[in-house]
Amino acid sequence: MPHRYFTTEIAGGRAVLRGADAHHLARVMRARPGDTVILCDGNAVEYTATVTGFGQESVEFTVQEGYPSVAEPGVELTLLAGYPKQDKLEQIIQHGVELGAAHVVPFFSRYCVAAPKKEEQKNLRYNRIALEAAKQCGRGVVPDVALPLPNFGAVCRSFGQYDLVLFFYEGGGAPLAGVLRQAQADFATAQSGAPARRLRIALVTGAEGGFAPEEAAMAVQAGAKQVGLGPRILRCETAPLAALAAVLCLTGDLE
């Protein structure tokens, strides 16, 4: 399978790769003119590219006509994850990107065990993890990891940017399949005649301590649909991945 790299420098049948990826391809992989790779423009369009030459810190290509990436889900998924302790957030980001999350937004809430510490510095590492996971699993976009939201009120205030917000609560809720069917039907009706776009879904899962009852009430009041993940209590690093997999399965993206 050809190696995969991301670059925005694709135009007129030519492309350029720079920086660490160019170094990796030229120095580590020892690419030669005529070798082929897959280039992604970050907007779910891929190109079969042939190496034509090397610069000081760059690799040059000719590219064939672009084609849509088949790895992107039919829905746009944002994972709002309660900030866990230790390195669990790294696991959530890596595996969440592999499953199909487009955005990861950590947040602090009442029962979070972790506390904010050097978040700007850690965010750089989190986005590198997302990039490497996107390359590894064949994504057509580079998912982004936001700086953490400071409290659950900030989480609820972000709900307006999504078509559907699923609040996964340990106390259970409405059947997920039914909520998704209704949301997809409503979205199809609303989008009739409008420019095509994907249904934007946010998935909200908690940290080690779960959610306080008042936070659950806040989420519903802000427009979220309260749903569950079955009768078992899942760890904070398991719940977001189970939620992503469940939503992708029910929307037909794991078939």
95 in helix, strand or coil?
A: helix
50, 68, 86 - which closes a domain: 68
- Is 255 inside a domain boundary? no
- Is 49 inside a domain boundary? yes
Return the CATH number at 244. 3.40.1280.10
Type and span of the H or E element at 166: strand 164-168
Mean pLDDT of 179-183: 97
Virtual CA dihedral for 149, 152, 155, 157, nearest 10 degrees?
-120
Round the average pLDDT of the chain to a whole number and report it: 95
How far is 219 from 166, CA to CA, in rounded Å?
Answer: 9
Q: Is the same domain home to 90 and 178? A: yes
How far is 107 from 97, CA to CA, in rounded Å?
Answer: 18
Write the pLDDT tens digit of every residue in 101-150.
Answer: 999 999 999 999 999 999 999 999 999 999 999 999 999 999 999 999 99
Q: Is the same domain home to 142 and 234? A: yes
Q: Is the same domain home to 30 and 83? A: no
Mean pLDDT of 155-178: 96
26, 44, 68 - which closes a domain: 68
Q: Is the same domain home to 59 and 97? A: no
- Is 192 inside a domain boundary? yes
Provide the total of helices (H) and of strands (E) in the chain, helices listed first.
7, 13
Write the pLDDT tens digit of every residue in 215-232.
Answer: 999 999 999 999 999 999
pLDDT above 90 (res 192): no
Q: What is the pTM of this model?
A: 0.92
Question: pLDDT band for position 66 (50/70/90)?
Answer: very high
- Is 98 inside a domain boundary? yes
pLDDT above 80 (res 40): yes
Number of domains forming the structure of the chain: 2
Range of the domain at 127: 75-250
Q: Is the same domain home to 117 and 221? A: yes
Is residue 95 within 8 A of residue 248, CB to CB? The reply is: no
Phi, psi values for residue 106, rounded to 5°: -70, 160
Q: Is the same domain home to 230 and 124? A: yes
